[in-house]
Amino acid sequence: MPAKKKVLLVLFSLFIAISLVSSGFASGVLYSQNFLPLKEEIRAALGDQPSVGAISESAKVIQEAMELIIKNSLREVSVQILRETAIEGMLESLQDEHAVYYSPQDYQLIMEDYRGQTSGVGMFVTKEDDQLVVVAPIEGTPAYRAGIKSGDIILAVDGQFVQGMDIDKAVAMIRGEKGTRVRIKLQRGESGEIYEVELVREEFRVPSVVSKMMEDKIGYVGYRFFSVGGAAEVEKALKELKEEGARGIIFDLRHNFGGPLTDAVEVSRLFVREGNIVTVRGKEGTEEVYQGTGTGDEETPMVVLIDRFTASASEVTAGALQDNNRAVLVGEKTFGKGSVQVIEPLPDGSGIKLTNALFYLPSGRSNEGVGLEPDVVIKSEGEETEDIIQNKGMEVLKELMGGKGVKDFKEIAHAPRRTRSHENWVIFKGIAHAPRRTTSHENWVIFKGAG
C-alpha cells in the first residue's frame, strides 16, 4: 500500500512534542512498514470464510439503525455524530487503552506532527495517571519564557479540561498556526499552585544531536529524539569526536521519547556489530527480527545515560546495547512502553489507532510496562546544581577506559552495594537482566492493553 495511504506506527511511549522539529520526527512513536497493512491483515485472517459476509451484513445493520435513529429520535442528531460514536464504541470494545478515533481535523494535525510540520509552544509532555504532565520546556520557546517547569500538570487548554483525554487530542488542542494564541491552565508540580498562561505559538527547530568533547578525552553525544536520517547525524558526531581524540563515549538518551523504528535500529547498528537488536511480534505469529550488519564499533568504551522519560525507540537502542553487553546503562529506570499501535486513515479523512504488536529485546524480554533497569542506578531529584547522572556516567566510563570490561563492570556485585556519590545513593546492580518469561495468554493480555 502506498505510504500516503498507510502509516504503520509503533507507539512505545505516550510522549508528544508540542513543537516544530526536524523532518521525520514522529512525536514519541516508532513507525515501520514491515507488517501487513491492517486491512490486508483482516483479509488474511478471514480468508474466504463466511465472516467476510458477516462484516458486510453488520454494516447494513448499523446503517439501518442510523436511519431509524435519524427518522424517529426526538433529539436531532447528525449522521457524522452517529458514525463517530459507532466507531468509538467498536474501539472501546477492544479494551485497548491506546485505541482512539481521530476526527478528520485531529487526524490531519497528528499526521502533520508526525512529519514535523508543526508549530506550537515548545514543550515535551507525557501522560501519567490520566494527567498531562510537562516533561520539559524547550529552551527559547514560548513555554520556556513563560516559566513552565518540568513536572507541572496541564489542567485545561482554552478552558477545556484535559484530564483523561487522549494525549494526541490534547496536543492537537495546544498546537496551532504560528502567531495564534492559546491559554493553558497548569498546576505547579512542587507547590500545587494553580496558574494560567497565554502563549503565542511559534515555529522553531530543535536539533536532534548535540555533541561536545569533555575532559579526559571523553566524547559526549546527546540524542534528543530519533528521526529519519538521525543515525547519520549521530555517526557524523561520533566521527568528529574520535577525530578530536575521544577514547570513550557518553551517549545520552535521557528525555528522548522515540521516533522511527528504522532509526532506532540504525543507531544501534553503529555500536552493535552482530547479533539481534529487536524483534517485533504481531498477530498470528508474524515476526520481524532486526540484526547488526557487521560494521558497528564495538571497541570504543561506552556509557548510556537513561531516565524515566527514556522511552520508545530509546528503549530499543538502550536495551540492545545492554543485552549485547556493549554499554553500561547509568541513571534511572526507563518509561516502559513496548506495545505497537497502527494508525489507519478512513475514507472521510478521519482515522483510528489501535494496538497490534509487541517489541522484544535481544534477550527475549519485553519492556512493556516494566522499563529497563540501569546497570548503575542513580536517581536525580531535579534540584541538584550539577548533573549527577552525567557525572556518575563519566566515572563509570573512566573505569571502562581503564580496562574494565562491560561484563566485568556489571558483575561488580551480585548483591546491591551502597556507596555515597553526589549526595545520592548509588546502587551497583548485578547482571540480573534475564528474559522476562510470559505465556501466550499473558502476551495477549498485554497486547489487548488490559495489563
Q: Which domains does the chain have, with CATH numbers?
A: 119-203 (2.30.42.10), 209-414 (3.90.226.10)
d(CA 84, CA 319): 39
Pairing of strands 123-128, 131-137: antiparallel
Q: What is the DSSP string of 186-200?
A: EE-TTT--EEEEEEE
Average pLDDT, the chain: 79
Q: Are 293 and 272 in contact (CB under 8 A)?
A: no
Query: Considering the chain, what percentage of its residues have pLDDT values greater than 90?
Result: 50
Place of cell 536539533: 207
d(CA 341, CA 339): 7
The pLDDT of 202-216, averaged and rounded, is: 88
Q: Are 50 and 136 in contact (CB under 8 A)?
A: no
Catalytic positions are: 312, 323, 337
Quote the cell numbers at residue 265.
Answer: 535500529
Q: Answer whether residue 246 shows pLDDT above 90.
A: yes
pTM: 0.69
Q: State how far Cα 351 lies from the chain centre.
A: 20
User: What is the model's pLDDT at position 243?
Assistant: 97
Quote the cell numbers at residue 325.
Answer: 553487553
User: What is the model's pLDDT at position 4?
Assistant: 33
Question: Is residue 202 helix, strand or coil?
Answer: strand
Of 17-31, 112-126, 159-173, 207-221, least confident by mean pLDDT is: 17-31
Q: Answer whether residue 40 shows pLDDT above 70.
A: no
d(CA 199, CA 194): 16
Q: Are 340 and 447 in contact (CB under 8 A)?
A: no
Question: Is residue 269 helix, strand or coil?
Answer: helix
DSSP 98: T
pLDDT bucket at 51, cuts 50 / 70 / 90: low
Pairing of strands 302-306, 328-331: parallel
